[in-house]
Amino acid sequence: MILQRNTIAILLLSLLFMACNKDEGEVMETEPTPIEYVGEIVWVKSLGGSGVDQANSIVATQDGNYIVAGTTYSNDGDVTGKTTTDADYWIVKISGTGTVLWDKTYGTEEDEIATHIANTSEGGYLVTGYSRGNNCGSNSNSGFHDYWLLKLNAEGEEEWCQNFGYGGSDQSFDAFETSDGGYFVTGYFDVSASGGEGNEDRSGAETLHGVGEYWCIKMDASGAFVWKRYFGGSNNDRSYKALEMPDGDFLLMGSSESEDFDITDSKGSYDFWAVKVAANGDKVWTKSFGGTGVDVGYGVAPTETGNYFLIGDTRSDDMDVSNNYGNADIWVVEMSAGGMLLSEKSFGGSQFDTGKGIYPISNNNYLLSGSTRSNDQDISFNNGENDAWIGIMDANKNLIFEKSVGGSNLDFGEDAIEALDNTIILVGNTESDDGDIPVNKGLKDFLIVNIK
């Protein structure tokens, strides 16, 4: 009996030893439990009024809820505190069950289009988009459209705002807080209307490129610019997404129609175009990816291996694009930190499919958001016309889950996040009132969907 007890004790000690690291008893890491998505819609919310209302971005809040950002033309229905029918930023806070906690509109009697919202370290939010109004005081708008950045506290109250722009249409699509406590914004710059301005604090002679450029601005903690830079060629170049890299530089993502000036390796009509910009604003390198067709990049996400996934859509079937299912496909490119093409893959069906966002989630997977008109190949179902779409891809670019959401009319997915309970929340816009969409409030509504 004593021998048996000693044997059991030795086995228990052996198991304990195996579960611990030799360095001061540190517990060894275990594989995360896989999250199984079944494609069930938990809830759907259509929010808006009688006009056009479009959601573009969502973030989780520090208090366990969610903030959705977009644009409203309505002054009735779910939209409170608005009397005009021009476009305003519309920010809606919802609970995990989709209940509206508060909503606020921001803008002038001119049009303001919100494109993105980001969390800030103290619990507030940074909203970006573009505006035709004097949002930050008299004569604060410099032209047709200016970048308009709005810093909000946790309750949605304005702390500061900034307009950046010149005589033409300057549209910001992404902004975020940087590691030094400042901010960074990127978008589209109408350089032809600025007369070459927009490169403040840049050394050396500058060249006026062409129609439109990537335009990025580094700001301090108050929103004042530190430097401004534009990059591009003679044609239309638009940056839709950016991130700060581990070395403190910035990576801009979007598409380029040009084949000159800053574009040195054009593949065709439009390409995915990645630009690395140093922390001081200097161009480090640029890389084009695509084929001879139209390829438009929208999103970028870091991988656990130090590379980057780029997402958008492709109409090509040559050069960098190995496969096309028909019309346009969702296209994912894996790029090294130095801009080298490592691998690529198309997802979609025989109709038009596009990827708008890619986001790292649990289990080293990636959440894809976008839209589809297909019902074959990678797309298992179509509700009618255009559907909002989400997919989950593993690190090897295998599609392990996908879901179309919509009704018989036009429905679009713009952004998605993994929720705090490991479900998914997708946002976009809908014109439907059937299928997955229970009600339509007007011409077009915010679409918010929770999926498990």
How far apart are the C-alpha atoms of 410 and 74, rounded to whole Å? 19
Tell me which residue has tokens 């919310």: 45
Q: Could you tell me how many residues make up the chain?
A: 452
Q: Taking CA 81 as the corner, what is the angle to CA 78 and CA 82, rounded to the nearest 5 degrees?
A: 85
DSSP letter, residue 36: P
| Segment 376-424, tens digit of pLDDT | 999 999 999 999 999 999 999 999 999 999 999 999 999 999 999 999 9
DSSP letter, residue 84: -
Binning pLDDT at 50, 70 and 90, where does residue 146 land? very high
| Segment 332-356, tens digit of pLDDT | 999 999 999 999 999 999 999 999 9
Phi, psi of 385 (to 5 degrees): 55, -120
How far apart are the C-alpha atoms of 297 and 255, rounded to whole Å? 5
| Segment 249-283, tens digit of pLDDT | 999 999 999 999 999 999 999 999 999 999 999 99
DSSP letter, residue 337: T
Percent of the chain whose pLDDT exceeds 70: 91
| Segment 234-244, tens digit of pLDDT | 999 999 999 99
| CATH class, 36-451 region | mainly beta
pLDDT of residue 13: 35
Compare 398 and 6 and report the one with higher pLDDT. 398
pLDDT of residue 200: 82
Task: Answer whether residue 206 shows pLDDT above 80.
Answer: no
For residues 90-114, one letter each, b for 16 or more C-beta atoms within 10 angstroms of the residue's C-beta and e for the rest, the string is bbbbbebebeeeebbbbbbebbbbb
Region 89-107: mean pLDDT is 98
Q: Is the dihedral of CA 4, 9, 10, 15 positive or negative?
A: positive
pLDDT of residue 451: 98
Spacing of C-alpha 110 from chain mean position: 26
Task: Answer whether residue 328 shows pLDDT above 50.
Answer: yes
pLDDT of residue 207: 65
Mean pLDDT score across all residues of the chain: 91
pTM value?
Answer: 0.91
Q: Among 250, 191, 181, which residue's Cα sits nearest to residue 220?
A: 181
Task: Answer whether residue 201 shows pLDDT above 60.
Answer: yes
DSSP letter, residue 364: G
Compare 142 and 425 and report the one with higher pLDDT. 425
| Segment 418-452, tens digit of pLDDT | 999 999 999 999 999 999 999 999 999 999 999 99
| Segment 8-30, tens digit of pLDDT | 333 333 333 333 333 333 333 44
- Judge residue 28's burial from the number of C-beta atoms within 10 Å of its C-beta, 0-12 exposed, 13-18 middle, 19 or more buried: exposed
Domain ranges of the chain: 36-451
pLDDT of residue 139: 86
Distances (CA, A) of 237 to 142, 170, 197, 240: 21, 12, 17, 10
How far apart are the C-alpha atoms of 444 and 431, rounded to whole Å? 5
* Residue 23 token pair: 């360095």
First to last CA, the chain: 52
Please name the residues in contact with 442: beta carbons below 8 A apart, sequence gap of 6 or more: 48, 49, 50, 51, 52, 53, 74, 77
Q: What is the largest CA-CA distance in the chain?
A: 93
Residue 425: count of CB within 10 angstroms of its CB? 25
